[in-house]
Amino acid sequence: MLDVSDIRLPLKELDGADGTEKATLRRVVLRRLHLTPDDLSSLELRKRSIDARKRGNVHIGYTVRIALRGGENAERELLCRLARRHQDRQVRVADVEHFTLPKALSVRRTQRPLVVGAGCAGLFCALALAEAGLEPLLVERGRDAARRTADVERFIRTSKLDPESNIQFGLGGAGSFSDGKLETGTKSAAHRFILQTLVEAGAPRRILWDAKPHVGSDLLPAVVTKICERIKAAGGELHLSTRLTKLDIRGGHVTAVVLERREESGLLVEERRPVSDVVLACGHSARDVFELLCNAGVTLERKTFAMGVRIEHLQADIDRAQYGPFAGHPKLGAAPYKLVAHPSSQRPVFSFCMCPGGYVVAAASEEGGVVTNGMSRSDRAGTNANSGLLANVFPEDLEGEDVLAGVMLQRRCERAAFTLGGGSYAAPAQLVGDFLQGVPSSDQGSVSPTYPRGVSWGDVRTCLPSYVSEALRLAIPAMGHQLRGFAAADAVLTGVETRSSSPVRIVRGKSLQSVSTAGLWPCGEGAGYAGGIMSAATDGLRVAQALVDSLL
């Protein structure tokens, strides 16, 4: 097979083309490579991206994978012909990536591995362990997708927060109530497997080729439910409303855990379970797990994380800034952006989890704290664009020596936001123009905030460390030079965004086990080894492979 890249089609060519996008690409490839229709046996779309570097000349870029009817001989002949003519350096032999799940173990073990947390890291780790015949026990403190959705909706209506079932906790983890972005800055053969698994579970097929793939918060709950069904079909077991409350360690090795199950009646039932392998994929908001690990003597360390606010603009303004006269074209959809500024050499500021056509969500998991996040549905048809606007917090910024000082800072900011919002989980908000001038806001402009519990206008700076507020104040004008309208006076800042990543790392060694505790496998975002759905899922697969290897 051959990969043909750098196929750039103007929007007008796609508009005027007869048939589907794939049929248009087939005609372009035949013309470029001087082939007849009979020469081509298959064509597969591998990558689709928008090139908007010149707003007056927006293109769609493609990479396709083709196979010729003459097989490898015909492909070699084509490559030689192109080389002789110095034509089309964008044609090369396809680099076929092979990813395989860990091989099934022939020996049945008496103790099943325990996977704590059913976010993307835990789900894919449990899937790999189940396919290897280890019959993992997957526990999740929150509820299933349907009941979790009902819990979130009840919180939005009534302000009654369930600390165990919310946007942070429940089947699918925090990613299930986000945009479902699948971008990653890393390369791994596992990525294709992850995408294909999501598609088989009901995600849109376009994620296999979109350069910036996303699923959407309206589809993700059903997708993760299907993945759980696959885990159970392979011998795994899922226990919801079940959390880890104690870890027994003897001689530097995990020996048992205590699990607490919440019955529908509210009754709490404890179970002590012998176990020799525990995968900790608990997510970045499982603060009680971090405390449990500290008390058990497991080695943790502070790590850099980020804090800030959500910024909202009208999506139509972002579309015009990115696509110029092509804004609103159906082939483009809602425009994303990604911005980084360095207002000082010490503290970068960046956009995070940008949600085109999305909504700011109420992401609290502790009573008395306000947390924001962002989400988009699959169609990204909302009126506003929103993004996290974050500044790094470094370990040296934190007071004292407590390894959980970052958690304490997050909690203080969330409680300050709760108080400033009026105490009913409304969020503090401020217009960008007022924020830059250092004055509180009293009302909105053209952008209506989408935070579902409502906002209280004021000064979001009072909810954040001064060094974070100052970094944002310096960065916003610089980002306005990168993206027209970003620093618009009536754009809305909603606070606080504190859960972009874990402030703690559960330190692991080359074996991927905890450096202090054999049989303990830190995994994913909460452990400090991932950031986003794809990297967390990849880490879950990596840990599963390491665990299986340790048993051989």
The band of 199, judged by pLDDT with boundaries at 50, 70 and 90, is very high
**pLDDT over 90 at 287, yes or no:** yes
Cα distance between the two ends of the chain: 36
The whole-number pLDDT of residue 124 equals 97
The band of 14, judged by pLDDT with boundaries at 50, 70 and 90, is confident
Query: What's the rounded Cα separation, in Å, for the pair 269 and 261?
Result: 5
Mean pLDDT of 392-415: 97
Sheet containing strand 455-457, strands side by side: 340-341, 349-355, 384-393, 305-314, 492-497, 427-431, 455-457
Query: What's the rounded Cα separation, in Å, for the pair 118 and 136?
Result: 12
**pLDDT over 70 at 16, yes or no:** no
Q: pLDDT: is 322 or 105 the higher one?
A: 322
Query: What's the rounded Cα separation, in Å, for the pair 391 and 309?
Result: 9
Mean pLDDT of 46-60: 89
The whole-number pLDDT of residue 17 equals 47
Backbone angles phi, psi at 45, to 5 degrees: -75, 125
**pLDDT over 70 at 19, yes or no:** no
Q: Where are the beta strands (DSSP E) in 441-524?
A: 455-457, 492-497, 504-506, 520-522
**pLDDT over 90 at 84, yes or no:** no
Query: What's the rounded Cα separation, in Å, for the pair 423 and 415?
Result: 9
pLDDT digits (tens, 9 = 90+) for 288-297: 999 999 999 9
Which DSSP string do the residues of 238-299 spell out, in sequence order? EE-SEEEEEEEEETTEEEEEEEEEE-TTS-EEEEEEE-S-EEE---TT-HHHHHHHHHHT--
CB 182 within 8 A of CB 195: yes
**pLDDT over 50 at 502, yes or no:** yes
Residue 40 neighbours by CB distance under 10 Å: 16
pLDDT digits (tens, 9 = 90+) for 157-197: 999 999 999 999 999 998 888 766 787 777 788 999 999 99
3-class state of residue 68 by DSSP:
strand
Which of the 8 DSSP states describes residue 508?
A: B
Query: What's the rounded Cα separation, in Å, for the pair 272 and 543?
Result: 24
The band of 437, judged by pLDDT with boundaries at 50, 70 and 90, is very high
Which DSSP string do the residues of 209-247 spell out, in sequence order? TBSS-B--TTTHHHHHHHHHHHHHHTT-EEE-SEEEEEE
Query: What's the rounded Cα separation, in Å, for the pair 132 and 546?
Result: 12
**pLDDT over 70 at 512, yes or no:** yes
The β-bridge partners of 249 are 254
Q: Which two structure tokens, joined as six digits, stand for 499?
A: 């859960």
Tokens 């610089």, residue located: 478
pLDDT digits (tens, 9 = 90+) for 364-401: 999 999 999 999 999 999 999 999 999 999 999 999 99
Mean pLDDT of 14-36: 81
Query: What's the rounded Cα separation, in Å, for the pair 61 and 425?
Result: 44
pTM of the model: 0.94
H-only helix segments in 132-234: 145-158, 190-200, 220-233
What lies within 8 Å, CB to CB, of 401 at 6+ separation is none
**pLDDT over 50 at 357, yes or no:** yes
**pLDDT over 50 at 537, yes or no:** yes
Mean pLDDT of 61-75: 93
3-class state of residue 81 by DSSP:
helix
Query: What's the rounded Cα separation, in Å, for the pair 163 and 276?
Result: 29
Mean pLDDT of 486-512: 97
The band of 335, judged by pLDDT with boundaries at 50, 70 and 90, is very high
The whole-number pLDDT of residue 107 equals 62
